[in-house]
Structures are given as structure tokens and as C-alpha cells.
Amino acid sequence: MTGATHGIGLEVARAAARAGARLVIPARDAERGQAVSEDLRRLGADVLVGRMDLADLDSVRAFAAGLDEPIDVLVNNAGTVTPRRRETTDGFEMILGTNFLGPFALTNLISGHLRGRVVIVGSGAHHSGRVDAADPHFRHRRWSIAAAYAQSKLCDMLWARALHERLAAQPTTVGVQLAHPGWAVTNLQNATGVPVLDRAVSGACRMIGQSAAEGCLPVLEAAVTGLPPLTYLGPDGFRQRRGKPEPQQASALARDDTAAEAIWDLGVRATGTDLGMADQQIHGRPSR
């Protein structure tokens, strides 16, 4: 599970720990990863912590190369927002690189270990998302937190669709599910870089949203419940911000097969990875 050291991912990990699961947790911050692993072990989990930064493809490749065990459920939960436009080590726009391209590469590189299902954590923000194939990294168009985040989450929704089609065409039982936590109070709200404003945003979120423990429920259900392929789970309350998990409908664009293939191609070009590659890398350099 990615993103298990904070927020939604940590709550999912805690629930899995209470059930006695073995957890493989890649963490960017080794100290934080170790602290979380100790917490999860106290709850009954067997935990393996590895070093990985989704904003650095070399780090993703190194983690994948060191993984040597079956994965029943892969939860692609990690996500980020930034107060201003930044780039990853590989020159990608940071939000797109962390929320989509890094998880895309990781899933492809460890696909040979997958046994059960892949859960991709989306967001209601995908409804307003737009992907500019000519400029996905906002090098020439105007960047904003909202536009970059919505684009990354639309990419996640479309990636899930393309991944499902590829897995369904292979002799495998691995499925793909989608979930979103609604408006959950996590560290993602602290994105402005201005402490007073971050506190105000977090306070507003507590009034209209729900806790991370409540927000994790759609993700947890997507990970363990028998569901039709590509079910999209989210809270059933007002504007899908809070409540109990229920199946929901993604936007029309997020259900477009042609758009899904275009996003898959974008991921392959950018990361140099594709599903099930034995050598873990396409020949040639990834495209920035």
C-alpha cells in the first residue's frame, strides 16, 4: 500500500493490521515509515517497510526490483498537492508525477507479483479534470492546484480503465477497483504553505467533511469486498463528501475507452514502463 504513513492510507493499514494482514509499505521518509510500522505491529500486522519516492522513477524501480513476494491487494493510495508548480526528479509536474505516473510505473513493475486486485484511489475532483496531451506538465499553460489535481485524478480514473482491459485480456484473476474518500480531513489540506490559511482550510473541511477513519471505508471496501469489475465506491452523503460507501458513477470522460488508451500511452511514454515487462523497462529513455 502506498501512502500508508498518513491519512487515508494509514487508516486502511490500521484496519488491515487489526485483521492480521501482512503489509508491505513503501515510504519516502524512512523515519516516518519505521514509526508507522511499529504502530501497525502493535495492532497485529506483519510489516515490511521499503524506501520509495513516487516522485523519483529510479526509486520506484529500485523498490520494485527488491520486492520478492506475492501481493494479494495493491492499494495505490498515495497522493500529493503542492502550493506552487514543482517538478519531480524526472521533470514531471509534481502532482501528476506523484498521483499518476509514479503509481503507474510501480504497478507495471510489480505486476508479476499481483494475485488478487489493484485498488486505485480517485477523487470527485476528476469530474472537473482536463488532460492536455500536448502539455500535461503545465509548462506552457497556466498551473493551479485545482487544475493539476483534477487532471491527475482524471488520469487515475482512466488508467484504471485501461489497466482493467489489459488484465482482463491476460490469463490472470487480478481485478481493478476504484474508490474515493469523499472530503476527508488529511494532510492534503495543508497545501497552501501559509499556516494560518492551512488551519482555516482544515477547519472548514472538518465542518463539511469527515475524518480519515471514515474516509478510508470506501477504499477498504474496494480492497476486500466482492465487487463487479471497475466498481467506483464513494461516500453516500451530501455531494458524496461524507457517509457510508456506495457504488457511484464516474464522469462520462472517465468512462471513455479512447481517452483511457491515450492516458495509458502517456504513462508508457513518460515512465518507460508497460504492463508485465520482464526487463522492467522499455528500451529507450522515458519521455519528459
In SS3 terms, 192-249 reads as: CCCHHHHHHHHHHHHHHCECHHHHCHHHHHHHHCCCCCCCEEEECCHHHCCCCEEEEC
Q: What are phi and psi of 232, to 5 degrees?
A: -115, 110
Chain Cα centroid distance, residue 94:
14
**2, 171, 180, 159: which is closest to 76 by C-alpha?**
2
From 63, 92, 149, 183, active-site residue: 149
Strand order in the sheet with 71-76: 71-76, 114-121, 175-179, 232-235, 245-248
Bridge partners, residue 75, by sequence: 119
Secondary structure (3-state) at 72: strand
Task: Tell me whether residue 232 is one of the annotated catalytic residues.
Answer: no
Cα–Cα distance for residue pair 231/160, rounded to 1 Å: 10
Closest CA to 153 of 213, 46, 78: 78
Consecutive H or E run containing 148: helix 145-168
- Are residues 235 and 244 in contact, defined by beta-carbon separation less than 8 angstroms? yes
Cell matching residue 251:
464522469
CB atoms under 10 Å from CB of 258, counted, come to 8
Partner residues linked to 23 by β-bridges:
47
Q: Are 146 and 122 in contact (CB under 8 A)?
A: no
Q: Which residues are tagged catalytic?
A: 149
